[in-house]
Amino acid sequence: MTLTMAVVRERLPGENRTALVPETAKKFAALGTKLRMEQSAGISSHFLDHDFPETTLVTGVAEAYAGATLILRVTPPSTAEIEAMPEGSVLIGLLKPYESKERLAALNAKKITAFALELLPRISRAQSMDALSSQGACAGYQCGLIAAARCTKFFPMLTTAAGTIRPARALVIGAGVAGLQAIATCKRLGAMVEAYDVRAAAREQIESLGAKFVDTGVSADGTGGYARELTAEEKAQQAEKLAKAVAAADVVITTAAIPGKKAPVIVTKDMVARMKYGAIIVDMAAESGGNCELTQPGEHVIANDVNIHGPLNLPSRMPTHASELYAKNLYNFLSPWIKDGQLAFDWTDEVLAGTVLCRDGATVHATVKQVLGES
């Protein structure tokens, strides 16, 4: 039986990305895959139906999923969408695995094999599949643009007939993929940039982009390329030295996150009280609670005349390139296992074993089970 791949329009409010773009549709078709796509599934990413000549266009979720072997998504499916999926089908996407026991139960009830790209092992071989990194790059870029657009000062130094304008001072907290992209964007726009990360290895990366590293004397290198959670003493030392950098900045961009946990609070309300009037905070971690104590997810709040932005779903603000990157991640993950128009997974493979969330009617990822209390 030929592998049938299905893609529907993302229905989460504000979501403009799509899991299939014309380039990857062509590549999947060349592997012998039959493609079925809901009409206008790519319209919010500015891809038209006629850009997908390899696909069969259908109306609605039920028709798209009927008989599908493999389902590609950006966001997690609703319970109603899961009900429409064929029993035993394969689902892949950014499934927010730590968020909902009910969603996992619904997937397991249909014996769906679900891959959550958030769980992808952080190894060299998986870099081309790493959707968190590709979408993080989009988010970091957007944070830099938001900061520049909202800042009350020029980002670059300007020499004018009236005199010289000093460049704005930007501080980026967190130097993962998103943070590094925020640093690079602020530098391109001409700001004086400082940056901080608890991982010792980040110093070289920060300085390679032309930014100054803020040294607090705290290092928290963790496993899998992520930072570990700091002790109370380390947090106090970090806060004391970081507060000075925050107070001097015109713009603060925060990007620190811990998988499966609430974002660490790094910028306290006391730090905000010491900031310049008119300063800007762009909190990329707003979706997981925020790195600033005063962040309100999805809102713009003002405290002590400091503007605190908690933007959500930043990659969706640039859906064309975000979708292209994400779709390539999906293709790179799946293409090695499509042979003669069939899926042939090797469950001993490190990437597959590390990314699979549900299989054979059960949640199989150990960390997810532990976080949700199912182990």
Is 65 a catalytic site residue? no
- Cβ neighbours of residue 29 closer than 8 Å, sequence gap 6 or more: 35, 54
34-38 vs 356-359, strand pairing mode? unpaired
Residues, the chain, total? 375
Q: Which amino acid is at 145?
A: L
Instruction: Name residue 72's beta-bridge partners.
Output: 7, 92
- Cβ neighbours of residue 5 closer than 8 Å, sequence gap 6 or more: 20, 28, 33, 34, 35, 36, 68, 69, 70, 71, 72
Question: Is residue 335 within a helix (H) or strand (E), and if so which, with residue range?
Answer: none
The DSSP symbol for 118 reads: G
Is 226 a catalytic site residue? yes
Give the CA distances from residue 120 to residues 53, 263, 296, 357, 363, in Å, rounded to whole numbers and listed in that order: 31, 20, 29, 10, 16
Sign for the CA dihedral angle at 244, 249, 255, 261 comes to: positive
- Catalytic: which of 130, 197, 250, 283? 130
Is 188 a catalytic site residue? no
CA distance 99 to 230: 23
- Catalytic: which of 127, 128, 208, 370? 127
CA distance 364 to 345: 16
Is 130 a catalytic site residue? yes
- Catalytic: which of 133, 181, 238, 323? 133
Q: Which two tokens stand for residue 69?
A: 């072997």
CA atoms within 13 A on the CB side of 19: 30
- CA-nearest of 317, 315, 320, 313 to 45 is 320
Is 133 a catalytic site residue? yes
- Catalytic: which of 78, 219, 226, 228? 226
The answer to whether the beta carbons of residues 213 and 243 sit under 8 Å apart is no
- Catalytic: which of 40, 49, 78, 122? 122
Question: So which residues are the catalytic ones?
Answer: 122, 127, 130, 133, 226
